[in-house]
Chains A and B, each alone.
Chain A
Amino acid sequence: MTILFSKKRRRPFRLPGFSLTLGFTIFYVSLLILLPLSMVIFHTLSLNWQNFLAIITDSRAISAYKLTLSTSFIAALLNVIFGTIIAWVLVRYQFFGKKFLDGIVDLPFALPTAVAGIALTSLYANNGWIGQFFSFKIAFTPIGIIIALTFIGLPFVVRTVQPVLDSFRTEEEEASASLGANRLQTFSKIIFPAMVPAILTGFTLAFARALGEYGSIVFIAGNLPFKTEITPLLIMTKLEQYDYAGATAIAFVMLLASFIFLFTMNGLQWLIQRKYSLNRSR
């Protein structure tokens, strides 16, 4: 019903500028994203199927995928937990230094990843400011990779959750409270569902960003094959051995993985948003 209604309402009021914006967007995306990326596919096609399969299922490549996926996932999860808490604190509470903390959240966006990598490695190495307090190694292990990826992805979650909380109307919370719900119930039934799409977006962005991260990781990972070698490094390694076909084959796998992941998340996002907006409009 709602869908029918909205479609009927919209058609006569179609805004102008469709062809201009569509034309430009398609042009820009094709020239800058599609064409360059299709080169990866094009070059991969120059390999025959057996070779391609042999390269991408090489045991070293597979352990690199595993490492990249697992560290990115853990880092994105950490970001969801801490990022949501930070967003909550920054929106809801008043305390000394809040403005400063709010500003500093953007730092990982602004700081070159190489600088971040060097700084984090110095901090978390065995003789570093933080590393010296731990009996186990942090830098040059997968833990180091997770730390760097968490650093890189933090602002994505905070900055997507923050505006949602900001615009959340307190009347709904008050209504919930006046109907007898306690704070935890209000949070889990009213506030949290409203935050889910934003949290999901944040997770998607942080995870996607982590998958491809290179600059900071090469400094903090030990780069040992089968142990701390991430996929982008493997591409770089192949490139420096003049193995363009091998590099593009691995790149192709990474591209496909990110594309499928993003596409699924965007679809999921759209479903959730639709459900959410339908619920609200009723």
Chain B
Amino acid sequence: MTKKMIFFVLFCLVISGCSSSNASEKESLTLLNVSYDPTRELYHDINEAFAKQWQQDTGQTITIQQSHGGSGKQGRAVIDGIRADVVTLALAYDIDEIAKNRSLLPTNWQQLLPNGSAPYTSTIVFLVRKGNPKNIRDWDDLVKDHVSVITPNPKTSGGARWNYLAAWAYAATVNRHNDAQTIAFMKKLYGNVEVLDSGARGSTTTFVERGIGDVLIAWENEAYLSLNEVGKDDFEIITPSLSILAEPPVAVIKKNTQRRGTNEVANAYLSFLYTEKGQEIAAKNYYRPRNKKILRHYNTQFPSVKLATINDFGGWQHAQKIHFTDGGLFDAMYQ
């Protein structure tokens, strides 16, 4: 009897699980955007604007659900079956993995939207304490003795991988691509890291709230945001002489949208990011817009800086293999 009861309860669980999701789909159109950590504020604004636009164009009400987390964690969630309609992650590698592991979207996904499917870009900058007491101007200053650096773990955080590659690009340029010297520089840099959080937001909190570290290596948008959220009187942004062009990509998870009948709205949603309105919102949230006109309008906010690109590292698959897999170069930093 008890067994039957348990089965019944489990059965009810499963039924309630699926019925509730079915019901919500019928009532109104929903879209699930699985995104990485620092885009919370950006997509809060984008979703509002897009829902309004969609209502005007089609008369349909749309609710956009958000999920945020580390880029790798979010990619894994999609692979494991979260029913994402669109993904907006920190780096192309994570979307590649989704295409590779479950073929939920075509492998040429990066060609489906303009600019390699990255509607906005960002770069890596330093956040230092007001007055810059350790006089940090460039990457060189981060490897000096008694400078405490905060950056997240490249193994778990997408942003941290951009941080690492930006530092590498600088060291490689300065050392004329001598690998041994470059590695020595990187070892010194990661030897100065005091807390290695698992996500970009965790690092920002450690630096800003806990007061640990002399410099935080961060996304430009993240640095501006903490400046505005916490107070301009406490921190300064330093732009290094060389950084990296960080391109956070977006993609429609085609298999999911076909199943759920949300293909059209998902595509419209991502296209919206490329419209003037979408680009304006991105710029307001401190992401560098692709649209030249809007970029010019915000040029005081985005100082021009020499940028390396991921192609200098042979693309994400290659960079991942050389630097970040187990036994890769990053592991050597701590050995």
Contact = CB atoms under 8 A, between A and B. Distances in A.
A touching B, CB within 8 angstroms: yes
Interface of A: 20, 23-24, 27-28, 55, 58-60, 121-122, 125-128, 139-140, 218, 222-226, 233, 236-243, 246
Contact of B324 (A224, A226, A241): A241
A240 B156 contact: yes
Given A226-B334, A246-B326, A20 B2 contact: yes
Contacts of A246: 326
Contact of B3 (A27, A226, A242): A27
Contacts of B72: 240-242
Contacts of A140: 194-195, 212
Given A240-B72, A241-B324, A242-B79, A218 B211 contact: no
B156 A24 contact: no
A24 B3 CA distance: 7
B38 interface: no
Interface of B: 2-3, 6, 70, 72-73, 75-76, 79, 97, 101, 153, 155-156, 193-198, 202, 209-212, 324-326, 331, 334-335
Given A126-B210, A240-B155, A225 B198 contact: no
The 8 A-B residue pairs with the shortest CB-CB distance in the complex, in nearest-first order:
A240-B72, A225-B334, A127-B211, A125-B210, A222-B195, A240-B156, A223-B196, A240-B73
Given A27-B6, A121-B210, A233-B198, A224 B334 contact: yes
Contacts of B325: 241
B196 A222 contact: yes
Nearest to A233: B198
Nearest to B327: A58
A224 B156 contact: no
B193 to A, nearest CB: 7
Given A121-B210, A237-B153, A242-B101, A222 B194 contact: yes
Contact of A60 (B79, B101, B153, B331): B331
Contacts of B194: 140, 222
Given A222-B195, A224-B195, A243-B326, A139 B155 contact: no
Contacts of A242: 72, 75-76, 79, 97, 101
Given A236-B156, A238-B326, A242-B101, 13 more contacts: A27-B3, A59-B335, A121-B210, A122-B209, A127-B210, A223-B196, A223-B197, A225-B196, A225-B334, A226-B334, A233-B198, A242-B76, A242-B97
Contacts of A139: 210
Contact of B211 (A55, A125, A223, A241): A125
A240 B196 contact: no
Contacts of A60: 331, 334
Given A27-B6, A125-B212, A237-B156, A223 B198 contact: yes
B196 A24 contact: no
A278 B60 CA distance: 77
A128 B210 CA distance: 8
A33 to B, nearest CB: 14
Given A27-B6, A218-B198, A241-B72, A224 B193 contact: yes
Nearest to A242: B97
14 contacts: A24-B2, A27-B3, A27-B6, A60-B331, A60-B334, A126-B211, A128-B210, A222-B196, A223-B198, A224-B195, A225-B196, A226-B334, A226-B335, A242-B75
A124 to B, nearest CB: 10
B278 to A, nearest CB: 29
A28 to B, nearest CB: 8
A223 B195 contact: yes
A226 B191 CA distance: 12
A242 B97 CA distance: 8
B129 to A, nearest CB: 12
B88 to A, nearest CB: 17
Contacts of A237: 153, 155-156, 198
Contacts of A233: 198
Contacts of B79: 242
A219 to B, nearest CB: 8
B170 to A, nearest CB: 23
Nearest to B334: A225
Contacts of B101: 242
B304 to A, nearest CB: 34
A226 B331 CA distance: 11
Contacts of B198: 218, 223, 233, 236-237, 240
Contacts of A58: 326
B212 to A, nearest CB: 7
A130 B120 CA distance: 43
A55 B327 CA distance: 10
A84 to B, nearest CB: 34
Contacts of B209: 122
Nearest to B197: A223
A146 B3 CA distance: 43
Contacts of A24: 2-3
Nearest to B73: A240
Contacts of B6: 27-28
A27 B194 CA distance: 48
B318 to A, nearest CB: 16
Contacts of B73: 239-240
A23 B3 CA distance: 9
